[in-house]
Amino acid sequence: MSETESHPSVVLPSGSPQTALQSGQPRRRNRFSRPTRPPRKRIPAAAIRKATAASALGNATEWYDYGVYAVATAYITQNFFPGEGGMLLTLATFAISFLVRPIGGLVWGPLGDRIGRKGILALTILMMSGATFLIGVLPTFEQVGVLAPVLLIVLRMVQGFSTGGEYGGAATYMSEYAPDRRRGFLGSFLEFGTLGGFALGTAIMLLLELLLSPEQMSSWGWRLPFLLAAPMGLIGFYLRSKLDDTPVYEEMNGSASGHTENTAHDAGAPADAPTASAASAASAGLATADGTPASETPAPPSLPALFREHWKPMLVMTGLVISVNVVNYTLLSYMPTYLEQQIGLPAAAGLMVILIGEIAMMALMPWAGGLSDQHGRKPSWFFSLGGLILLAIPMFMLMGMNFGLAILGFAVLGLLYIPQLSTITATFPAMFPTQARFSGFAITYNIATSLFGGTAALVNEWGIGVTGDVQFPAYYMMAACAVGLVCAWFMRETAGASLRGSEVPGSIGSAVVPGSPAETALEEGRQPEQRTMDEEQMLTLAAEAREAAATGAGGVAMQTDGTGAGVAGADTAGDPEDGARAGAPVT
């Protein structure tokens, strides 16, 4: 079934490549890209659902802790940092865990590229949930003195270290498991888990605020949400321990266990049949019959090589992460404190504002992710960043008026943020090739997050204190979004780009789904590196990429028509939604 048959609301441009294929008209041969090839074996739909659920649940457990800590700052201050300046110390302790995250990224990222994704994810969720549980049983400052805040800081550092591998690993895992055509939609469920964790922590704390007296909350009630992390972590560990590693990683390392990236259904060809080019490459001694190169696959880069070879996407990603995290932690972590202490809303009313906004954001998350599959990642980011720059100040002014307008202002900012948040999993891992994906993502993301994410609440509190202007968080968000807007201009369009093999997704000559935004960007010369090239240079690079793919040197083999150019029907065995492309003529 084609995409337009399964989704009647989708309207394709009359001149798009996919429209030509579906109408039976000859399709122009790709000049600067090639169609994705058939996978070796299909992924059952149940495996994709299982991978999505396990990734999302683990992410929810991680951000549940951050959500609970963010809404429990008043109780943390009372029990661990009593006295003048206690709130700043509480927020500084929140930030400390982020300073450890780059260390976690430096450890877990390279390990994930060498030994696989799933083992790292199973271990990090145990560390995160265990540390969160232990916070719930810590003695207070009144009971053991300075030892209490020291123990709290140590546990927050353990959480930061584990998170350094958890988020990068979960995003990499989910992006590599998702079909190319649906990576934005399926990847959005990882961020659905992020908001779900925040919302669950907020909802539990709000329920306790309503059921218990202030004395009971200060004495023992604040501990209960932290204790719930233990069963959540055990469930997540069980689910993740039952997973296979990602098909992209296994294929890259020549150890596929029977799954690969695209489909829940056959498209007519035997699932385990090698492609024609794979067979020819095997006969030439260049690759195995299933397309795996006979020579050693590209090894994960060392840390110096990672920075030397991938500094450009790391720099672009850093700017995007700055905008993501300043907005994220201002809205979801600092906002309860802001509404209570700066705006004067009662604690329960402030939590209600956050909870309503988070639920609204969760409802639109999959829709926004799916929209990016159709129209591209870059339009989603441009819309989100531009909207936040324009409306941050007006919405913060609304939140300062009354309870109802506080809900409206927070909801508008949250919904403008969704196009960024929903596409993180689809956007960031696609900036790196398979052999450097986990380490490149984890190290870049965690360094930027440690500097601009965990410190957002502290910077906002400090900024308001120094300037006396309660609109300071809006200014900070606007500045961060301006940085992100510049970096989005230099970001490749990767919606529909294949993550398989050792090539960089969305680069010249790389494999893309026909009719996808990535194919359109490449064929129209709109990718960042194409802006400074002439046509001859682009054609040369594309030919080199096709040759590497045909021989298996790029980590995967491709199907060709005998002339070195990609055949449009080459990916149809991989994705049931692309069935209309099978056998389409190419001119």
With CA atoms as reference, report the closest residue to 189 among 408, 529, 423.
423
User: Would you state the pLDDT for residue 563?
Assistant: 38
CATH number at residue 51: 1.20.1250.20
Q: Tell me which residue of 448, 428, 328 sits closest to 384, measured CA to CA.
A: 328
Number of domains forming the structure of the chain: 1
Structure confidence at residue 1 (pLDDT): 41
In a domain, 366, yes or no: yes
Cβ density class 98-114: b for 16+ within 10 Å, e for less: bbbbbebbbbbbbbbbe
Residue 50, in any domain of the structure: yes
Q: Report phi then psi at 566, rounded to 5.
A: -70, 145
**Rounded to an integer, what distance in angstroms lies between the CA atom of residue 540 and that of residue 536?**
6
Which alpha helices (H) appear in 284-402, and where do they start and end? 303-309, 311-329, 335-337, 347-375, 377-399
Is residue 4 situated within a structural domain?
Answer: no
- Say which residue the tokens 């260390």 belong to: 103
Of 565, 564, 548, nearest in space to 556 by CA: 548
Structural domain contains residue 404 = yes
Angle 515-520-521 from CA coordinates, rounded to 5°: 150
Residue 122 Cα distances to 168, 237, 303, 442, angstroms:
13, 5, 24, 16
On whether residue 188 sits in a domain, the answer given is: yes
pTM, rounded to two decimals: 0.76
Rounded CA-CA distance 254/207 in Å is 51
Tokens in use for 498? 């294949």
Assigned domain for 535 exists: no
Torsion angle, CA of 387/390/396/399, rounded to 10 degrees? -60
Per-residue pLDDT tens, the chain, 587 aa: give them.
433 333 333 333 444 444 444 444 445 578 899 988 766 667 778 888 888 888 888 788 877 887 788 778 889 999 999 888 888 888 888 878 888 888 888 888 787 777 777 778 888 888 888 999 999 999 999 999 999 999 999 999 998 888 887 777 888 888 888 888 999 999 999 889 888 888 888 889 888 988 988 889 888 999 999 999 899 888 888 888 877 777 777 776 664 443 333 333 333 333 333 343 343 343 333 443 334 444 456 778 888 898 999 999 999 999 999 999 999 989 887 887 788 777 777 877 887 888 888 888 899 999 999 999 999 999 999 999 999 999 999 999 988 888 888 889 999 999 999 999 999 999 999 999 988 888 898 889 989 988 898 788 889 888 988 998 889 999 999 999 999 999 999 999 999 999 887 889 999 999 999 999 999 999 999 999 999 999 999 999 999 888 887 765 554 433 333 333 443 333 333 343 333 333 332 22
Pairing of strands 34-35, 511-512: parallel
Q: Considering only CA atoms, which of 356, 361, 353 is closest in space to residue 406? A: 353
Question: Is residue 120 in a domain?
Answer: yes
- Which pLDDT score is estimated for 297? 63
Which residue is associated with the tokens 């399926």? Answer: 186
User: Which range marks the domain in which residue 202 is found?
Assistant: 45-247+309-489
Closest by CA position to 74, among listed 63, 89, 59, 64: 89
Q: Decide if 549 is inside a domain.
A: no
pLDDT of residue 438: 84
* Contact assessment for residue 85 and residue 151, using Cβ atoms and an 8 Å cutoff: no
Nearest to 109 by CA among 296, 329, 307, 319: 307
